[in-house]
Amino acid sequence: MARNKPTYLYAIISVALVLFIVGFFALTALHGRKLVSLFKEKVDIWLELKPGTPEEEVPRIIAGLREKSFVKPETVTFITREQAAAAMKEDLGDNSLLEDNPDLLRDVIRF
């Protein structure tokens, strides 16, 4: 009789584990689309422009990005080197990093 008790315990533990795993995957399947959309909205993509990019081409690139279905048009922003340097100075308190390497920052488009 003593040998049957561990068998019941193992059966209970294995059934509980299977139910937990099935429940986890069911919740993931039900809320999967919502989780994916939340994840997509939280990710910022930075597009660095080449140093020789003409200023006339930047609005064309921005307009092209705004037309894409995977980009929210209101999230596309253009950040110049000067704006990035000012933000860096505000965050770090000094521009010693930029003085040592003036080509550190580039014009970027964030979306």
Task: Locate the domains of the chain by residue range.
Answer: 1-42, 44-111
Query: How high is the pLDDT of residue 12?
Result: 93
Q: What is the mean pLDDT of residues 37-59?
A: 84
Residue 44's pLDDT band, with cuts at 50, 70 and 90, is confident
Phi and psi torsions of 3, nearest 5°: -75, -25
**Do the beta carbons of residue 88 and residue 101 sit within 8 Å?**
no
Collect all residues with Cβ–Cβ distance below 8 Å to 57 and sequence separation of at least 6: none
Return the minimum-mean-pLDDT range out of 12-16, 23-27, 54-58: 54-58
Mean pLDDT of the chain: 83
Distances from the Cα of 22 to the Cαs of 17, 52, 56, 109, in angstroms? 9, 55, 56, 43
Which DSSP symbol is given to 74? G
Q: CB burial class (10 A; 0-12, 13-18, 19+) of residue 51?
A: exposed
- Residues 67 and 62: their CA atoms lie apart, in Å, by 9
Query: How high is the pLDDT of residue 85?
Result: 80
If you search the block for the tokens 């000094």, which residue do you land on? 94
In this model, does residue 1 exceed pLDDT 60? no
Q: Indicate yes or no: pTM above 0.75.
A: no
Count how many residues are written for the chain: 111
